[in-house]
Amino acid sequence: MLSASLFRTPLRCVHRLPACTRWLSSVSKDSTKLGLVPTLQRIIKTGALGSEVTVSGWVRSVRVQKRIAFAEVSDGSTPRGIQIIMDDPHMAAGLATGCSVEIKGLLAESPGRGQSKEIQAKNISIIGGSDPETYPLQKKHHSMEFLREIGYLRPRSQTIGAVARLRSHAEMGLHRFFHENEFVRVHTPAITANDCEGGGETFQLTTPGSESTDPASDFFGKRVNLTVSGQLHLEIYNNAFKRVYNFNQAFRAEPSQTGRHLSEFWMVEAECAFVHSLDPLLGLVEQMVQSTTRYLLDNAGDELGFFAQKNEALSSLVQRIASSEPFARITYTEAIDILQKADALQKFVFSPRWGQDLQSEHERYLATKHFNGPLFVTDYPAEIKPFYMLPNTDGKTVACMDLLVPGPCELLGGSLREHDFERISHKIRSLGIEEGSLDWYTSLRKYGSVPHGGFGMGFERYIQMVTGLESVRDIIPFPRHAGRCLY
């Protein structure tokens, strides 16, 4: 099994950071000038042994003996808290799991396993008390289902805390990748008058007290929804900027109760102009996923190690994705052939047939068993894909791709976009889409249209891939799904 310490070994930098990025990094290292109390992470990394420090945070555990007392305090900045040593057990009076404290003491080398430093307390102030009898987070294993029921406290748990830090670092890694590769970020709207995917699984917006069923009399004068994707809006900007991307929330009124679906989630989407084939898109996606994972290895190795410490397969997957080794590539037709041969031996619940979409069990077999790693599946049948995808010359398939990975299975999807005005107009009419509702979209093809393409990645699914967690409900801070919207 790969050691968790591997995740703290920086890989060779592929790109030299731009001056602005190096400047931002230097600013973050001097954040104590803001006048804020330093984090435990900063104290543990830079604090000198023997120096007097002040830490603040929340107590995870308290242990009182006859001549000494111990407490673990965390402030969310590290996977583990820091141990507080009290030579006088009376100093622990009033300390309880869950209470908030400010502690002054001396920073010392720790003989304890799994920690480098500890604090020999001189003064302890309780900022906010906590009833240890009713505090839900005790020092024991809690199921993820239980933690969802106490969502207002679950960020204090080690697992959810590690997820939160990974999310933060992964988002930074994505922004850095796009910034270094000259993409312009676009803030696409949450409220839209279109259904990008055409599935009809949208949340319709209306104003309170509206008695009319006629959308024309409602607030916007037409039917509007929460967005399922910012792609169509990104394409507007992609007709003025060669490379654009967003990092936005998306919403889908899908009643599914599986651990792979949410009603509110985050998407990373990108569009590139003057792209004539799928190859550049595949390369872009591959480098984005690899670069972001390398960024996590360099900046959140302890968090990755936390999830991989008892999961050799996850260790190997993260290292594999962070490497420069190309992802496997097959066509949909080749995938069906592989699956039909496997079906003769193991029998899937849904028999794979050409012309039908791949089921989760098919994607899982391809990514986990057959290839045992990330792979692109390209050129799906046109009939099972959205209207905006560019047809291939065979007349049966479209120039599209899905990236499959162990864990969440489908990580992202993308395609070349139809850029011909007549063809896209005919496609929209044939699907019976409301006349005139997408005139703005088709008109993009009338004024300097160019071949272009893009993709969208579910951010929670990426985090699911690097953590190995089974449900995306444990990856987003406040999960919303059918029948569930707490807080």
pLDDT for residue 6: 45
Query: Which regions of 206-321 does DSSP assign to beta strands (E)?
Result: 224-226, 243-251, 264-273
The answer to whether the CB of 237 falls within 8 A of the CB of 184 is: yes
Closest CA to 169 of 322, 40, 298, 17: 298
Distance CA 446, CA 431 (A): 21
The half-sphere exposure of 225 on its side-chain side, counting CA atoms within 13 A, is 19
- Say if residue 432's pLDDT is above 90: no
pTM strictly above 0.85:
yes
Distance CA 424, CA 275 (A): 18
Length of the chain: 487
pLDDT band at 15 (very low <50, low <70, confident <90, very high): very low
Of 10-19, 273-282, 303-312, 337-346, which range is least confident? 10-19
Per-residue pLDDT reduced to its tens digit, 368-423: 999 999 999 999 999 999 999 999 999 999 999 999 999 989 999 999 999 999 99
Largest CA distance in the chain: 84
Closest CA to 306 of 295, 322, 318, 294: 318
Beta bridge partners of 450: none
The answer to whether the CB of 32 falls within 8 A of the CB of 81 is: no
Long-range Cβ contact pairs of 390-397 (< 8 A, separation 24 or more): 390/415, 390/416, 390/417, 390/418, 390/419, 390/451, 390/453, 391/418, 391/423, 397/332, 397/333
Per-residue pLDDT reduced to its tens digit, 229-242: 999 999 999 999 99
3-state secondary structure 398-438: ECEEEEEECCCEEEEEEEEECCCHHHHHHHHHHCCCCCCCC
Handedness of CA 185, 186, 187, 188 (dihedral sign): negative
- Say if residue 345's pLDDT is above 60: yes
pLDDT for residue 400: 98
The answer to whether the CB of 71 falls within 8 A of the CB of 86 is: yes
DSSP state of 381: B
Closest CA to 238 of 11, 474, 456, 449: 449
pLDDT for residue 10: 39
The answer to whether the CB of 420 falls within 8 A of the CB of 445 is: yes
The token duo for 467 is 């953590």
Query: Which regions of 38-164 does DSSP assign to beta strands (E)?
Result: 52-64, 69-74, 82-86, 100-109, 117-128
Per-residue pLDDT reduced to its tens digit, 276-329: 999 999 999 999 999 999 999 999 999 999 999 989 999 999 999 999 999 999
